[in-house]
Amino acid sequence: MEEENEQVDPSNICHRVKVYTLSCDKWVDRGTGYCSGLFEPEPHFHVINEADSKDILLDCPIKGTTQYQRQQDTLIVWTNNDDGTDYALSFQESEGCLQICEFLIKVQREGIEPNISLVAIIQSGDGEISEVVAGPILELPDVKIGQLKDVLDVLTMAQFRNRVMTQINSDWLRELCRVFQKCEKEKLLSDIYCLTDIVKTLVFANEIDFFEMFIQEGILNNIIGILEYEPEYPGLKMNWREYYEGNVREKVVVKVEDVNISKTIREISELKFLRDVVLTKLIDDCGYGCISMMIQDRECKALESLMKEERFFDDYLQMYNDNQSDLKLKNDGIKLLNQLVNMSKSLQGHQRSDFFKLLITKGLSRLIDYAMKSTDEDNVKLITQVMSMMIEHDLFLLKDPTCYNNPLMETLIDIHLGNEDIGLQTQTYEAIKLLIDPGDSTIIDESFYEVFYDNRAYAYKLFTPLLRVVRDIKYLQECTQKRSYMLKLEHNVELLSHIARIHDSDYSRSFIIDNNLLYGVDSLIGQSSLKMQTRLSGVRCMRHIVMLNNPHYMRHIQDKELLRSALKLLVETTERGENTLVSAACLALSECLPSNFKVAKNTLRGSAENKRGNQSVGLGATLKRGLGDVDDVDDVVDCGGFNSSDADHANEHDLNGGRNIQRNNKCNNGGGNMGEPDKRPRV
């Protein structure tokens, strides 16, 4: 016997509900029954009393433009258009409410009653959110003067927003632009302000499609013009179009044969202008990210296409061979290079390397040479930025590792020392720091160090400011108010610390000690008229030198008493009760001294012999904090000062293998000579 399974429409299944009507702002219970959605003779809700099946609690037709609201998963609320009665069905189970909603959706979408709508009311932390589940497609009104307010109202209706936005296309925007041109010509400000709000609504949607349409030909200039007007400031208007025409429009340095490349590059500048100028106050992080992604995609596309157009780079860099070329064109070419290198950040690492190598093989050095010799400071800044980015990406792109007489280093040093612009000094400092850093490379050999540290080569020229301090301390006192000179000294001190740590110690140590550069650093620390930032850089440099735990540096520091200024600065900041970066750096330096305690001891002795009193007491107490785990500190630092007999006793104790003075330093101190210290000092 075959069983026939008949498919039952879920809407015909009865669901237990309570029927309510609104009376005098109160919901009145009309009874409990079973609800179903029926199609015949016309779509309607049918509710029968659960106690008496002959008693019909509700028989309400579904028609007209009735809007049904689903609330809290178990409620359906609507207003009857015939008599204006408000009804509510409260379902016992959410499943029943869902099936009746599906019945309403079917009625609307199958065209039985196409003008009804179903809206879901969702509760959130920010209030209620309306979402249209089903309903008639709302048509955007025509963009015409006199009904722009209607267009804005439709666009801002939350429940229909997503449906309406799909109707916006390039033709619609072009019509909007034509209306704007007419309104601006006739000075219809109220309509222009309405157009401004319409465009803002499109911007707030954060749709890539809209941003793509904004930059289409014939649309962009009008969109910018519309946003020049601000309803909140009716008496003011921006001048973005005028600025864009005069400053942002592309300048042709070298003609590009492929029109698609030209179009892509133009779109990049247009999108950047929109993002950074016109829309900067309107877009949120999401909108900013959308436009940035569009820019990045175009930058990759443009550079990949340009790399295939090798003739472009031949023509571009060839003009720097010709002395007769237009200087303005050459200067624009430097700006173009800076833009191209910035655009290359969007490329993958290997693609970026290929792009830089292409520039170099086509003659980039000629452009660099022209820019560096230019009297235009902007050219120097731009090319320095380019070189910094290239060096940062790959150290050896601009440097032939087999030929260290490349003029790049000398050129950067000349700019760094000869320019008073603080921004340019910082850029060249960063470029030089990258250029002299061997990193993990095995390509740098002794020939690099021989050239860099040669008596007439780069190192001596680079450290000219600090060498002058060593030779003439009075000159430092005369230049304390020159910010650019002080910055050069700070850079010198940081580079000194840098080469001491990363370069071959035989070369860097000989250069530093032979030229007494640490004396110059100590002089900066001890010069009270200098800004604390400059003195702080000196303290940090001394700490890095001490942490190297190199016996040659330690002996040099001990012989020249080069820690005295740092320890004096520590006492000054401690006595004033200051807890600053300077005092922290001085304390960090003092904490490095246990592994080199002999240096600290002799420094203290010299300090105490030259200046007794409260300062010596403060110095001793401070060093006791820094050397707190050394048991014999009290034998070396006395509260009344450090005298010669104490020093002799300490030396004798040291020679006899004192149990605590060098306990963190695995060295042999026999014969009174400083042994090879531990490679890893305790910090």
* Residue range 309-316: mean pLDDT, rounded: 84
Q: If you search the block for the tokens 């609507």, which residue do you land on?
A: 78
How far apart, in whole angstroms, are the C-alpha atoms of residue 435 and residue 29? 84
pLDDT tens for residues 504-538? 888 899 999 999 999 999 988 888 888 888 888 99
With helix as H, strand as E and coil as C, how does 311-345 read? HHHHHHHHCCCCCCCCHHHHHHHHHHHHHHHHHHH
- CB atoms near residue 45 (< 10 Å): 24
Greater pLDDT, 662 or 385 = 385
Phi-psi region of 193 (alpha: psi -120 to 50; beta: other; left: phi over 0): alpha
pLDDT tens for residues 92-123? 998 999 999 999 999 888 888 888 888 888 87
Backbone angles phi, psi at 22, to 5 degrees: -95, 125
pLDDT tens for residues 192-208? 999 999 999 999 988 89
pTM above 0.75, yes or no: no
Tell me 247's DSSP state: I
How far apart, in whole angstroms, are the C-alpha atoms of residue 659 and residue 632? 9
pLDDT tens for residues 623-677? 544 444 444 433 333 333 333 333 333 333 332 333 332 333 333 333 333 333 3
| Res 619: pLDDT | 47
Note the helical H segments in 548-626.
551-560, 564-575, 581-591, 597-610, 614-626
| Res 629: pLDDT | 44
CATH class of 10-134: mainly beta
State the DSSP H helix or E strand holding residue 86, giving kind and residue range, or none if neither.
strand 86-91
Exposure pattern of 222-237 as b/e (b: 16+ CB <10 Å)? bbbbbbbbeeeeeeee
Backbone angles phi, psi at 190, to 5 degrees: -60, -40
| Res 648: pLDDT | 36
pLDDT for 575 beyond 70: yes
With helix as H, strand as E and coil as C, how does 616-656 read? HHHHHHHHHHHCCCCCCHHHHCCCCCCCHHHHHHHHHHHHC
| Among 120, 128, 112, CA closest to 41 | 112
pLDDT for 383 beyond 50: yes
Comma-separated ranges of CATH 2.30.29.30 domains in the chain: 10-134
Exposure pattern of 493-505 as b/e (b: 16+ CB <10 Å)? bbbbbbbbeebbb
